[in-house]
Structure 1
Amino acid sequence: MKNVLWFLAGIAGGFVVAHMMNKDPRGHELLAEVDARITEFTDRIGDAYREQEARFSGLVDEVKDAAAGAAESVRATAADAADDVADAARKTTD
């Protein structure tokens, strides 16, 4: 519990210091630069995430298509086998 109290005090102290820095023109400029760098970083991370998401989406679509093709092939093979069995049964009874 003591660690949580220190953590919360550190956060509150950080806000107070940031507020005091923001009042000073140099501090305001520094905080604006930090904010711009953070924004640039988050934009890059977001772009990379969207790129990976698109890449995975493409892979998933390819796998779905391959699975559908395999299922169709199995269905066709099973239908052919059933037809062969039916033909063989007819020949046996004839």
Structure 2
Amino acid sequence: MIVRSLVWFALGIVGGFVAAHMVNKDPRGQEVLAQLDSRIGEFTDHMSDAYRQQETRLSEIIDDVKSVASSAVDKTADAVDEAAAAAKKAASPSD
């Protein structure tokens, strides 16, 4: 069963190459293939642009999260220092 599927797959690939070669011999076929190539190029350009935009958005979000996390760590450290100072002051005997 698998061998039969592989044979059909290989025949499909070979048939595709033969058909493309025959279409490429005809000037109208060349024009069609050139248009197809142009549209594929436009599609890949659009996909690349969309990927870069998403990458930029994610980078900005990550930078914002890092900033918020850093601020939270700083505020927590300040609160711990204040609590430690207050505990130290409360624990020391008053004169």
Give the structure-1-normalised TM-score.
0.92
Residues 8-64 of structure 1 show CA distances to partners (whole Å, capped at 9, x for unaligned) of 221121111111111111111110000000100111011011101101110010001
Task: In structure 2, give the amino acid aligned to 1:36.
Answer: S
1:57 aligned residue: 59
Task: In structure 2, give the amino acid aligned to 1:27.
Answer: G
What is the CA–CA distance in structure 2 between the aligned matches of 1:91 and 1:76, rounded to whole Å?
A: 25
Task: In structure 1, give the amino acid aligned to 2:9.
Answer: F
1:22 aligned residue: 24
Secondary structure of 1:91 counterpart: coil
Q: Which runs of 4+ in 1 moved over 3 A?
A: none
What are the ranges of 5 or more consecutive residues in structure 2 without an aligned counterpart? none
Residues 65-93 of structure 1 show CA distances to partners (whole Å, capped at 9, x for unaligned) of 0000001111110011011111111136x
Tell me the number of residue pairs that the alignment of Structure 1 and Structure 2 aligns. Answer: 93
What is the CA–CA distance in structure 2 between the aligned matches of 1:91 and 1:8, rounded to whole Å?
A: 90
In the alignment, structure 1 residue 9 sits paired with structure 2 residue 11: yes
Aligned sequence identity (%): 48
What are the ranges of 5 or more consecutive residues in structure 1 without an aligned counterpart? none
